[in-house]
Every structure is written in C-alpha cells, then in structure tokens.
Amino acid sequence: MMSAEPVPQEPFSIDAALEDCLAQADGEGVLLQTALERLGPASFCFVSLLLSVLFIQPFSLGPLTMASALTFMAAGWQMVRRAQYPKLPKRMRDARLHGKGWKMVIAFCQKTLRFCRKFTRPRLQHWVSGDRGEQFIGWLILIGGFLVAIPAANLPLNNTLPALMVLFAAIAWLEKDGLMIFISLAWGVLTLLYFLIVGLALWFFGEQVATWMHSFWGHFWK
C-alpha cells in the first residue's frame, strides 16, 4: 500500500496572515497568542513595524519610549534565538483582540506595507534568507531598540533615528528586500553620529545647546 504524498504547503504570505487576523477580529475575536502564531516569524517584524512608526516624528513619547525599546530588544533577541513567535506573559497571551481598535491596527499595518512597496522589491535576498538572514534582522532590531532606550536629554530626533533603523530592518525581512538592510544600517550609523555630536556639544557648551535645539525644532514644527 503506497503512502499518500505530503501536500505541499503554500509559501508564507504576510498579506494573507493579516487578512486572516482581520477577518477573525469580528465577533468573539482572536486570542493575541493565536494571531502571533498565525503570523509566525513575521510577528516579530509586525510588532516592530507598528511601534517604530510611532516614533517617526521629532519628539519623545515619554513612558512609551522605554516600553517600545524593551519590546524591540526582546523581539530582536528572540529572532536571534530563532523563536517561532514572541513569547509573552500569560495575561497577554490570553488577551482577546476584537472590535474596531484591532481592525484599525491591522488596517494601518496593511497601509504601511502598501506604501513601502512603492520603493521595495525582492532583491539581494541572500541578506534576508534562511537562519542567518533572520538572525541578522534580529540583531538590527535589538540594537535599534537599545539606541531608542538611550536617554539623550529628550532632544529632538533622538528616538526617530534609531526607530528608522528598526523600521527598515522590519521592512527588509517582511518584503525580502536586502537593500533595506543597508538603509537600516545607515540609520544606525547616523544615530551614533547624532549622539556623538550632541554629546560633544553638550560637553563643551552645556545646556545652551539643548535649549537652542528645543527652540529650533519647536519653531520648525509649529
């Protein structure tokens, strides 16, 4: 008696996974743990993408900054360790996601991905493929989270620049676009240069520099 041939599995699609989660948001909703398991390894970059977008503006988000930074670092480290999806406390695992709020979150993520696809495409895929590719993305997200957590006198852009590093790392993995890795690295280098320049300026000129920068950005963003 011949054994049945295994049914080939369809390749993972972030769009199909998001649509599935969106459909389940009606009625009783879906457990957060179930949603993350459905997204699989993409759940790390899904969470990183959502949080990093919040920082694409020049001002600090207060307590949310450290919470987001810790989330980035935890997600990045678990990617490095090749976890299948984020490990969460039981209370968060059992949270049931449903209603308009969850739908808005999923829809926002879908719109962000559609916008990014105007300039991304699969290329240099050896940078974002296999275990090494996923671990490399994990390190970028982890380091970006560490840079977000660094206190920098609440100066403008001190969270925006490392958040862009996380954002492009997440996009690189989700869209299998290795070029985005180099953009992520560029934002990381720019973040370090920014901190170095600001640190030296504060060392030599003290609070006058911080006051001037706050006044400049406050006038610019009126």
Mean predicted confidence (pLDDT) in 201-219: 59
Closest CA to 152 of 139, 142, 143, 162: 162
> Of 28-37, 97-106, 117-126, where does the model show the most confidence?
117-126
| Bridge partners, 177 (sequence order) | 123
141: Cα separation from own chain's centroid:
7
Query: Could you tell me the pLDDT band of residue 9, with boundaries at 50, 70 and 90?
Result: very low
Mean predicted confidence (pLDDT) in 27-33: 70
pTM of the entire structure?
A: 0.75
CA gap 71, 134 in Å, rounded: 17
Determine contact, residues 184/133, Cβ cutoff 8 Å: no
Q: Output the pLDDT for position 183.
A: 93
For the chain, the distance separating the N- and C-terminal CA atoms, rounded to the nearest angstrom, is 76
179: Cα separation from own chain's centroid:
17
Residue 188, Ramachandran bin (φ over 0: left; ψ between -120 and 50: alpha; else beta): alpha
CA gap 131, 23 in Å, rounded: 31
- Does pLDDT of 168 surpass 80? yes
> Of 35-44, 144-153, 189-198, 202-211, where does the model show the most confidence?
189-198
Mean predicted confidence (pLDDT) in 195-215: 66
Look-up of token digits 């999923």: 106
- Between 67 and 222, name the one with better pLDDT: 67
Residue spans per domain, the chain = 14-217
Tokens, residue 204: 């030599």
Q: What angle do CA 73, 76, 82 make, to 5 degrees?
A: 140
